[in-house]
Structure 1
Amino acid sequence: MNASNTLLLPGWQNSGPGHWQSLWEARHGYHRVEQHDWMRPLRGDWSARLEETVVDADGPVVLVAHSLGCVLTAWWAAHSANAHRVVGALLVAPGDVERPDLAAQIHGWAPIARQLLPFPAVLVGSRNDPYCSLERAEGLAQAWGARFVDYGERGHINAESGLGDWDEGHGWLMRLAPPA
């Protein structure tokens, strides 16, 4: 798989320099899908940007989503005629945008699309994620047809989780992505 066809989909407020997505971008040359507004995410805008990026890719793509990026992946896959171009997705710590406190902060993202994804996926959830209960993450994995990984107590599986380059997560990605 061409490194530039591995698409990083950060969540709300983007992924900072210590986040495993940013470290993977620097280390492996993966491509971050840059959104127009990280602070006030609009589902339609974010979906259109992902659509453009997938269409512009020079071959099949792999998605690497964190938090709101997971919700974006499911929504986009439900509405895109180009979802067949995705060969796999690593979905990490989905944000539960149907929860009242998050829905109040991130408008317009509910309901979460709950159809089977048309590509293989692994969803990694944490037992103490402040933005999504383990049960809810497991339910999303089931709805999306994703293999579920209970990652223990790792918070939101972000920079604050102390994962560094997160080699274990990269291993799951490598099993999803076909070799170059």
Structure 2
Amino acid sequence: MDRFGHPGDARQPVVLTIPGLNNSGSGHWQTCWEDMRGDCQRVDLGSWASPTRNSWVTRLDAAIREVDGPIILAAHSLGCLAVAWWGALQSQAYGWPVTGALLVAPPDCDRMETPETIGGFGPTPRAQLPFPSIVVASRDDPYIFFERAHSISKNWGSSFVDAGRCGHINADSMLGDWTFGQALLEGLIDNAHDQAAAMRHMRPAIPLAHQERRAIAMRSAG
């Protein structure tokens, strides 16, 4: 492991917010969370107006590696694709150091009419994500059909949440601090704590089992 901490780390997760195309400005729920919560910090993916998949994934990986402890990702729009590609290209053990992800309004990068600015993020990864995740979709999102969002969530192994009719779930949706989204985030945080507690409970049994195997081997050799 090339970072501090371990899967039983009980510290409060750091929430990395990952915007989509053109970044998230004032009035966006990601910006509101960063202003009001003490656990959120934005990942600077760079090239906000003309993103490339490899660059964004590399910058996301660097941001993840800088965190000492458990991490939850809170991504919006094209940021969800950066997370999916990171999960597909990296080899983290399940649930560590990224312990969960909230993936809000992923766009469909596989449609014929997909703008060139985001087309390079397709085809959408189909691999299951190496951490618990929630995909949140709107029924009138102009960038993806609701059924397609549900299909993507199944491929990623994510829980699927119907957000109703609220557009692209961005600043134009007038969600403010989006208390519904924060409740989903808190669920992921609680799950991370539960998983850490379970790992701490299991850890003392590991050396004991090793000792038992060694004793059996010694008896057999004798």
TM-score interval for Structure 1 and Structure 2 normalised by the shorter chain: over 0.9
Q: Which has the larger radius of gyration?
A: 2
Separation in 1, partners of 2:43, 2:106: 17
Aligned residue identity for 1:67: S
User: 2:33 is matched with which residue?
Assistant: 24
User: 2:139 is matched with which residue?
Assistant: 127
1:96 to 95, 103, 108: 108
1:45 to 55, 70, 80: 55
User: 2:164 is matched with which residue?
Assistant: 152
User: 1:137 is matched with which residue?
Assistant: 149
Is 105-114 or 11-20 further displaced after alignment?
105-114
For normalisation by structure 2, the TM-score amounts to 0.77
C-alpha contact 1:55 1:82 (8 A) present in aligned 2: no
C-alpha contact 2:104 2:136 (8 A) present in aligned 1: yes
1:118 is aligned to 2:130:
yes
C-alpha contact 2:92 2:130 (8 A) present in aligned 1: no
Deviation at 1:103, TM superposition (A): 4.1
User: 1:105 is matched with which residue?
Assistant: 117
Partner of 2:113: helix, strand, or coil? helix
In the alignment, structure 1 segments of 5+ residues that lack a partner are none
For normalisation by structure 1, the TM-score amounts to 0.94
1:79 is aligned to 2:92:
no
Separation in 1, partners of 2:72, 2:174: 25
Aligned residue identity for 1:15: S
Q: 1:111-133 CA distances to partner (integer Å, 9 max, x unpaired)?
A: 11111111111111011000011
Q: CA RMSD in A?
A: 1.6
Deviation at 1:102, TM superposition (A): 2.1
Partner of 1:138: helix, strand, or coil? helix
1:12 is aligned to 2:24:
no
Separation in 1, partners of 2:61, 2:92: 8
User: 2:181 is matched with which residue?
Assistant: 169
Separation in 2, partners of 1:101, 1:34: 28
Is 105-114 or 88-97 further displaced after alignment?
105-114
C-alpha contact 1:51 1:82 (8 A) present in aligned 2: no
Aligned residue identity for 1:149: V
Aligned residue identity for 2:149: A
Partner of 2:101: helix, strand, or coil? strand
Separation in 2, partners of 1:166, 1:42: 29
C-alpha contact 2:108 2:144 (8 A) present in aligned 1: yes
1:57 is aligned to 2:64:
no
Aligned residue identity for 2:77: S
Aligned residue identity for 2:59: R
C-alpha contact 1:154 1:161 (8 A) present in aligned 2: yes
